[in-house]
Amino acid sequence: MDNSTLLNEVIARAQVWLDGNYNEETKAEVKRMMDAEDKTELIESFYRDLEFGTGGLRGIMGAGTNRMNIYTVGSATQGLSNYLLSQFPDIPQISVVIGHDCRNNSRLFAEISANIFSANGIKVYLFDSLRPTPEASFAIRHLGCQSGIILTASHNPKEYNGYKAYWNDGAQMIAPHDENVITEVLKIKNVDDIKFNGNPELIEIIGEEIDKAFIDAVKTISLSPEAIERNKNLKIVYTPIHGTGVKLIPRALKEYGFTNIIEVPEQYVVSGDFPTVVSPNPEEPAALDLAVKKAIEKDADIVMASDPDADRMGIAVKNDKGEWILVNGNQTAMMFVYYLIRRWKELGKITGKEYIVKTIVTTEIIKQIAERNDIECYDCYTGFKWIAAVMRENEGIKQYIGGGEESYGFLPETFVRDKDAVSSCALMAEITAWAKDNGKTLFELLQDIYLEFGYGKEKGISVVRKGKSGAEEIAQMMSDFRANPPKEIAGSKVSVIKDYKTLKQTNVTSGETINLDMPTTSNVLQYFTEDGTKISVRPSGTEPKIKFYIEVRGKMKSRKEYDAADAAANAKVEAVRASLGV
């Protein structure tokens, strides 16, 4: 499609908004973009419809079909309503949960959605104010609802908002439901098809009663209450980074028995503008700067942070030199899996039917920990909906211990079906207490895992390419990798290639090809080299970027060799980057 054809299509789509039954504020914004000499903003706002990716609907807020606003949210909710009515015709009262985070417009979008659901005869349980995403997942299961939505853009910058859709098991939708909802949304050709006038009698406000039930459930996953009692004065610095974690994470820590929770006052301020950070992402070192500063001031034992919707957590610990360092998502997941399996064994909870789950881009050390303890390890696609899908398949057959992904998400329980920073923060504090009870710092526990299973270093690299042209460039990069796969990476021969788009695994040396057992295809490539390096490449499902996941392996014979192993791994990572040209 040439530029003039695209612009004509975009103008036609925008004109529908000017002529239709949209509010005056929206029409003024559309007209401003149409009258502008530079049509880039108009094109970006209207060249497509927002689509569900690994995290649902997510985009920049503003007017347009490719933006988050009351009409795109309205179309999604009307489409979901139509789908629910078709799927549950025999249920006397279909019901949904609506949760939201701290972002600008999140409450507005939640209330608009509540009106639309109720106008369609669907019962709505609407939280009285912002709540963590995992609590909304819990509420869907707890209240026996058929679906639910959460208004959040997770850790994205302040310009974004999002819409996550959940099914009756409390997990984000996967096929066929996500695709079928999209089909229903696409059937809505006119804003007048959206039922905006709600039925107040079908909207019930929920709050404290669900909070208590959720916290009570979180308390049941504790495995070392005696260690907590002996170390209840552990100094825990926690920051919600202006988000929903402020509602429940300090409370969960106190309910676990911890008495010394240190606030970061500037970041306890709930705000969709995230005034103290550029990005409210616990993966970003700068997001934890204030918390680390507080930890130095208070001589704390651990720093913990949650993202705005409190499904992801980040931590910082003191190393053997007394310096505060950030622990990445792979390392956090490793510590969770190591602790959970060890304590389950010590407590006699292992029956031979237990399993853990990780995503294909998460460290292979987790699989080693599981297999060495005779625990089954599932590999699934990126996105917690796939971990939840494994849980759904094994319900009543096998026992889930825990699951996580490299992007700072972990789930150590079954009463939620999405990553959960509330339970993860409580459990990580417990691990810190347990380690201290065993004469170790959390950093020394991490070192000991490397000593037992081999050193590993992971590096995530995101290449951002915005807009339509960026999407095309990312698609071309994936095509180029498929057409010309690397024969060696950083001096080590590529031995295995996995292509999840074709579901084929190729042994490069023998040429043998086998099928990959996955629930569906995905646009992901993986390269494994003879020296244990793993490279994963995939376009993001929620952001305008292509992601490279690098994992290199090394050796450690003592804690004293940690720095040397880390330096060698860093050098190897840079060599891999050079080989890939990223």
Q: What is the pTM of this model?
A: 0.94
pLDDT band at 25 (very low <50, low <70, confident <90, very high): very high
| Burial class for 478, CB neighbours closer than 10 Å (0-12, 13-18, 19+) | middle
pLDDT band at 327 (very low <50, low <70, confident <90, very high): very high
Q: Are 148 and 136 in contact (CB under 8 A)?
A: yes
Instruction: Report pLDDT for 469.
Output: 80
Instruction: Report pLDDT for 179.
Output: 85
The residues facing 312 across adjacent strands are 409
> What integer is the mean pLDDT of 472-490?
93
> What integer is the mean pLDDT of 140-158?
95
> What integer is the mean pLDDT of 164-192?
91
> What integer is the mean pLDDT of 421-449?
98
Tokens of 384: 């917690």
Distance CA 200, CA 183 (A): 28
| Burial class for 482, CB neighbours closer than 10 Å (0-12, 13-18, 19+) | middle
Compute φ and ψ for 203, nearest 5 degrees: -110, 115
59-63, 172-176, 324-328, 400-404: the lowest-pLDDT one: 172-176
Tell whether the model's pLDDT for residue 2 goes beyond 70: no
Q: Are 262 and 300 in contact (CB under 8 A)?
A: yes
Distance CA 369, CA 445 (A): 14
Residue with the bigger pLDDT between 440 and 383: it is: 440
Tell whether the model's pLDDT for residue 475 goes beyond 70: yes
Instruction: Report pLDDT for 574.
Output: 96
Strand duo 534-539 + 525-529: pairing:
antiparallel
Compute φ and ψ for 234, nearest 5 degrees: -45, 135
Distance CA 36, CA 41 (A): 9
Distance CA 316, CA 441 (A): 12
Distance CA 280, CA 283 (A): 9
151-155, 274-278, 347-351: the lowest-pLDDT one: 151-155
Phi-psi domain of 497 (left: phi exceeds 0; alpha: psi -120 through 50; beta: other): beta
Location of structure tokens 């609506």: 98
Measured distance between the N- and C-terminal CA atoms of the chain, rounded to whole angstroms: 29
DSSP for 55-85?
Answer: TBEEEEBSSSTTSBSHHHHHHHHHHHHHHHH
Number of CB atoms found within 10 A of residue 439's CB: 7
Location of structure tokens 């310009």: 159
DSSP for 88-150?
Answer: -TT-SS-EEEEEE-SSTTHHHHHHHHHHHHHHTT-EEEEESS---HHHHHHHHHHTT-SEEEE
pLDDT band at 466 (very low <50, low <70, confident <90, very high): confident
Instruction: Report pLDDT for 1.
Output: 53
pLDDT band at 541 (very low <50, low <70, confident <90, very high): low
Give tens-digit pLDDT for 80-99. 999 999 999 999 999 999 99
> What integer is the mean pLDDT of 423-435?
98
Distance CA 70, CA 41 (A): 19
H or E element that contains 566:
helix 562-580
Q: Which domains does the chain have, with CATH numbers?
A: 48-206 (3.40.120.10), 214-453 (3.40.120.10), 455-580 (3.30.310)
> What integer is the mean pLDDT of 443-472?
92
Q: Of 312, 261, 302, 253, which Cα lies nearest the Cα of 282? A: 312
Q: Are 529 and 45 in contact (CB under 8 A)?
A: no
Tell whether the model's pLDDT for residue 23 goes beyond 90: yes
Tell whether the model's pLDDT for residue 54 goes beyond 60: no
Share of the chain above pLDDT 90, in %: 90
Say how far residue 557 (Cα) sits from the centre of its chain.
34
The residues facing 172 across adjacent strands are 166
Tokens of 263: 């606030």
14-28, 237-251, 258-272, 534-548: the lowest-pLDDT one: 534-548
pLDDT band at 367 (very low <50, low <70, confident <90, very high): very high
Report the mean per-residue pLDDT for the chain: 95
Q: In what order do the strands lie in the sheet with 324-327?
A: 261-263, 236-239, 302-306, 313-318, 324-327
At 162 the three-state DSSP class reads strand
Phi-psi domain of 142 (left: phi exceeds 0; alpha: psi -120 through 50; beta: other): alpha
Residues belonging to the active site: 154
> What integer is the mean pLDDT of 388-400?
97
Number of CB atoms found within 10 A of residue 351's CB: 9
